[in-house]
Amino acid sequence: MTAPAHPSYTSGISNTPLLGDTIGANLERTTATHGDREAMVDVPSGRRWTYTQLLADVDALAKGLMAKGVVAGDRVGIWSPNCPEWTLLQYATARTGAILVNVNPAYRSHELTYVAQQSGMRMLVSATTHKTSDYRSMVEEVHPQVSSLTEIVYIGDSSWDDLVAAGGAVTDEELAERGAALTPDDPINIQYTSGTTGFPKGATLSHHNILNNGYFVGEMIAYTEQDRICIPVPFYHCFGMVMGNLAATSHGACMVIPAPSFDPVATLDAVVQEQCTSLYGVPTMFIAELDLPTFADYDLGSLRTGIMAGSTCPVEVMKRVVAEMNMSEVAISYGMTETSPVSTMTRMDDDLARRTETVGRSMPHIETKVVDPVSGVPLPRGEAGELCTRGYSVMLGYWEQPDKTAEAIDDARWMHTGDVATMDEHGYVNIVGRIKDLVIRGGENVYPREVEEFLYTHPSIADVQVIGVPDDKYGEELMAWVVLTAGAESLTAQEVRDFATGKLAHYKIPRYVHVTQEFPMTVTGKVRKIEMRERAGEILGRE
């Protein structure tokens, strides 16, 4: 009788216990130990904070929120590219028990309207402008449509100063009382993730979720108070605010902001100027840095580690990052917003093959399994199935969408990722596909249904299907297949882009448009997107 095959299941063992703090209490603890150490540097403005100064500014802002009537559980939105005020608000909301609602800086007015209404947003803290975005005009358009939104604050504007000044009426004792009433399991953050229904879902995360995930990410790459982390990834993602900010503050390390949004020159300049020991990015960011004509001029000797995540990490890029950027201890991580975000991660002593061909193994205190997507039974090692994870990191649920939560998290609290994966005999996971038609463009997740719902509003489009097609720069690009309305003679990609610009985030706008009479269908009338992807290469003149 042969022994049964090992099931595709692992749990991340650890001698290090989970943190039982709130985010505010953890920041206090770090400040008590490392108060004189540098906590945050904003390279563009030259502003710097020690931990003592950071906590003081966080608390001044927290008191301002309380003075404006913000109570625990109120939703406070942040709509801005990376800046110190983003980080200050992240910790100030945590100190008061308000729920921070992350709004993607690439969103436009109709997307802002949706998340503000769906979250019941009470206050919005917004940038005024960035690149081509005029946030103020969009906020003024949206504000009257959202009945819950009673307070607008602009960063760098007198309204920000007024918010901080208002805190003078709140005592230290009142702030301490508020903090003492909070628990680690309170919801503290809502992050909107694109949904197959056509609208984003608000993944609701607790102190316990994101503080511990940030802490253990830092543990995996051996952060101490000596580390300085260059964070060119956006704060509105877990990559920036959890793996960046919370990993730093839970270890007494320094957060370095190289620019409001990713710029390869600014990033490497910041690494050199601030002697950063760690650098984050999605693969396209590292590619852009390595491809700079002046790359050889940068002395990156201070670097030792970092994280590459967001999409599949090409082997050759990883090899160059290790060899040419001095990042011998760089890690790969896998996760999703709903799991705070990291579920699996490579270890510093993993060989290059494991760091390039897998997404690592279970994080400490996290369980991982690969199951038959129909039966839910764990599959033998090496067989492909749906990846599921369970542990402290699984979100509380989708904000006010219990039906959607039940679709994603089963009765045993397993998060069903929708990704197809295999697990080897040592517990290393390899992502081999996606059950749903998620497109990952340059680290941004795009669900075609959301884009399709919008494109249906175009007067010349009778029917539309959106797919992802391979792209050398972004990993994938969007391609829309459209059936025209009667009377419409043609539709170009540029016309679609013009129609969507200012209404859809730029990364959701299809690069390619293919006009067709009909879509490939199954005998039961379902669209065959797999065939569309196969035919796309021929249509676009590629292999």
Which CATH number belongs to the domain containing residue 493 in this structure?
3.30.300.30
Which CATH number characterizes residue 409's domain? 2.30.38.10
Chosen domain end from 385, 405, 436: 436
Domain co-membership, 73 together with 36: yes
For residues 47 and 141, state if they share a domain: yes
Q: Is residue 509 situated within a structural domain?
A: yes
The model's pTM = 0.85
Q: Which CATH number is 35's domain given?
A: 3.40.50.12780
Judged on CB neighbours under 10 Å (0-12, 13-18, 19+), 317 is middle
Does residue 460 form part of some domain?
Answer: yes
The secondary element (H helix, E strand) that includes residue 478 is strand 475-484
Answer yes or no: are the C-beta atoms of 167 and 66 closer than 8 Å: yes
Considering 329, 362, 395, which residue would you say is the last residue of a domain? 329
Residue 39 lies in a domain: yes
254 compared with 317, residue with greater pLDDT: 254
Confidence of residue 528 (pLDDT cuts 50, 70, 90): confident
Q: What pLDDT, in 10s, does the model give residues 145-154?
A: 999 999 999 9
Question: Looking at the 3D structure of the chain, how many domains does it have?
Answer: 3
491 Cβ partners below 8 Å, 6+ apart?
458, 460, 461, 482, 484, 513, 515
Would 185 be classed as within a structural domain?
yes
Residue 247 resides in a domain:
yes
Q: Are 239 and 233 in contact (CB under 8 A)?
A: yes
342 assigned to some structural domain: no
Point out the least confidently predicted range of 451-460, 483-492, 516-525. Answer: 516-525
Q: Are residues 396 and 506 in the same domain?
A: no
Q: Are 388 and 449 contained in the same domain? A: no
60 and 112 belong to one structural domain: yes
Structure tokens at 513: 């448009």
Whether residue 484 sits in one domain with residue 424: no
Give yes or no: residues 224 and 151 share one domain: yes
Residue 275 lies in a domain: yes
Residues 161 and 119 in one domain: yes
The confidence band for 486, taking pLDDT boundaries of 50, 70 and 90, is confident
Q: Is residue 433's pLDDT more than 70?
A: no
**How many C-beta atoms surround the C-beta of residue 128 within 10 A?**
15
The answer on 29 and 9 residing in a single domain is: no
Q: Is the pLDDT of residue 525 over 90?
A: no
**207 and 273 part of one domain:** yes
3-state secondary structure of 206: strand
The pair phi, psi for residue 238, each rounded to 5°, is -60, -30
Cα(358)–Cα(494) distance, integer angstroms: 38
412/467 same-domain check: no
Residue 2: which pLDDT band, with cuts at 50, 70 and 90?
A: low
Range of lowest pLDDT (281-290, 301-310, 323-332, 474-483):
281-290
- Please tell me the distance from the alpha carbon of residue 491 to that of residue 513, in angstroms, as a whole number: 8
List the domain range (segments joined by +) for residue 500.
Answer: 439-539
Last residue in a domain, options 436, 460, 482: 436
Confidence of residue 108 (pLDDT cuts 50, 70, 90): very high
Q: What are phi and psi of 248, to 5 degrees?
A: -70, -55
**Secondary structure of 415-437 as H, E, C letters:** EEEEEEEEECCCCCEEEEEECCC
Handedness of CA 316, 321, 323, 324 (dihedral sign): positive
CB 44 within 8 A of CB 259: yes
In this model, does residue 197 exceed pLDDT 60? no
Are residues 293 and 354 part of one domain?
Answer: no
Domain-located, residue 99 = yes
pLDDT band for 196, please (50, 70, 90 cuts).
very low
